[in-house]
Structure 1
């Protein structure tokens, strides 16, 4: 195992310390229990709290700041944070109107966020993200997994919250965005969890895992390597079959790297996506390309489509200032 690491047990703590030091103008690290919060809270605003196992950076801590999250709860690598982290984070960022938990549909995350929601003294609601169309159930979930579409929900609802919307309005908007969002990914390699020291799964040099989860969970099928156009086509067929957008629909397209894929390849994959959609009279209204929901050093990518209306487009374009996503400020 070759990683920048001192001691396995200190991996997360040292990583978070570096993150907080690098972005001290935007975020504050709480260490007991562990959470990252926005440095400057906005009184009277619904607070957004998310989190999950580490290893998917910049999701979620990298999206704490103006226009997105107010706090993020990082668990150990690929392991859910605990209810006490979530409760403490919610209490720290609540300024009166309540807290919206944004939760990826993984069994541990859902169970712990539900416990935190029930035990918290803070008024709260929850949006459950289940955008992955690859499989209905997996070793980590009952129902569809929550993956890169989480970023879109966090950005759009974060903007709505900044505008002064109520907790009920933020939840309804988040649920609506989730229903209009679908994702599917493909992996070329596995990744190595530091505590394990070995690859999460084995895959041949000429093989790909179609529909992989962000923890390395199996997808729809193991296949032979293929050209980018063919891979994009298979992912998009599954996504469009799920979303069923009408002709001329406007889409927000996210081409997301899983951690070990060069940006040049992600832009090539976006080009394949663009041409595929163009042939079907589907318009790209907004686009984002980059490694934003990763799986440590896994090579591969996911494609996310969100059918957007004027309101969603406006909230996507609105200013955002976080460590990993920023524009319009």
Structure 2
């Protein structure tokens, strides 16, 4: 294994130290570990996300004006701990409420839920928004239900703009649910990533093989498939994304008034002719931009044939899996409110416009 690291036990710490030196407008805590905006307006809902490291720039690269107020990084592919979220939330508490944005992985969900209960016990207003956009699976090695993947980036941008615009905690929570129910993603891998602690690729593929429906931690997907070319693979990914079979699931949501969890039934919205979408074509870490544009070309052609309108797009490495060669496609069926919030200014290390 050749990686630009010093010791596998210090990867995340040294990453945080580098962020602190590169971005003085961010404040970095090492014990417990989190990245936050150094200066935060005192009249807004606070938006916090996080998860295992290895997916950069998600989440730490999206801390700043118009997106996240803070991110809590775990070790590589390992959930952050409740003490990280609790201390981070206490430092940023404005009195308007804390919204945790959580990808649907068992460890992430459990630890963020624990943090919510602790903060509620301390008298803070808090809510959780779950992202579960991966259409490849309904259960996996890491989750109960769909995994949370690259549409998390879209949610962080839209919800970040909403908090800057003065949305209440309840309004942000309702918007987050709508984003989740209108978002869908799928990914493929041409090669595995190498986790520093393991020192070797997580799995092996033959020269003509891909993993179809891969997870962002290298979890297996729907199948091991034969690779022919970009257009064929993109077409198969889009067929899976545009399948309008109903997906219903039961989600635990925090009821702050009762101080307890309640179950809600959620149903994923269909994509129909005339719908407007935000498209994210995302590198899983090792795929060059030239190949992403080749994929986007086919995505746009297929959506045009279906009468689905691309209103906005984002193409690049935004939700990665270390050095994995692969790509994911995300579609968000966006209404006018989402599009308006998407266009609002953002100023973070990894995403910036309008500022």
* Interval of TM-score (by shorter of Structure 1 and Structure 2): over 0.9
Paired residues, number: 328
Residue 21 of structure 2 corresponds to which residue in structure 1?
A: 21
Q: Normalised by the size of structure 1, how large is the TM-score? A: 0.98
Q: In the TM superposition, what is the alpha-carbon distance from 1:313 to its structure 2 partner?
A: 0.5
Name the residue aligned to 2:264.
Answer: none
Give the equivalent residue in structure 2 for 1:137. 139
Per the TM alignment, residue 255 of structure 1 is displaced from its structure 2 partner at its CA by 0.3
TM-score (norm 2): 0.91
Distance 1:227 1:214 in 2: 22
Shift of residue 226, structure 1, vs aligned partner: 2.1
Which blocks of at least 5 consecutive residues in structure 2 are unaligned? 245-268
**Offset at 1:244?**
2.7
Task: Report what 2:225 is aligned to.
Answer: 223
Instruction: Show the 5 A alignment for 1:265-280.
Output: 265-280=291-306
After superposition, residues 90-169 of structure 1 pair within 5 angstroms as 90-120=89-119, 121=122, 122-169=124-171
Superposition pairs for residues 12-51 of structure 1, below 5 Å?
Answer: 12-25=12-25, 27-51=26-50
CA distance in 2, matches of 1:93, 1:205: 49
What stretches of structure 1 of length at least 5 have no aligned partner? none
Distance in 1 between residues matched to 2:311 and 2:151, nearest whole Å: 16
- Secondary structure of the 1:234 match is helix
SS at match of 1:73: strand
Query: Does residue 205 of structure 1 match 2:207?
Result: yes
Name the CA distance, whole Å, in 1 between partners of 2:353 and 2:39.
18
Report the RMSD for the aligned CA atoms in angstroms: 0.8
Deviation sequence 1:147-172 (CA, Å, 0-9, x none): 00101111101101101111000000
2:69 is aligned to 70
Q: Provide, for residues 251-306 of structure 1, a one-character-per-residue CA deviation record: whole Å limited to 9, x for no partner.
A: 10000000000011111111110111111111101000000000000000000000
Does the 8 Å CA contact 2:63/2:71 hold for their aligned counterparts? yes
Q: How many angstroms apart in 1 are the aligned matches of 2:270 and 2:189?
A: 25
Whole-angstrom distance in 2 between the partners of 1:161 and 1:155: 10
2:310 pairs with 1:284: yes
Say if 2:214 is the partner of 1:188: no
8 Å Cα contact 2:16/2:30 also seen in 1: no
Report what 2:283 is aligned to: 257
Deviation at 1:119, TM superposition (A): 0.8
Q: SS of 2:242's equivalent?
A: helix
CA distance in 1, matches of 2:142, 2:327: 20
Find the counterpart in structure 2 of residue 321 from structure 1: 347
Contact 2:285 2:322 in 1 (8 A): yes
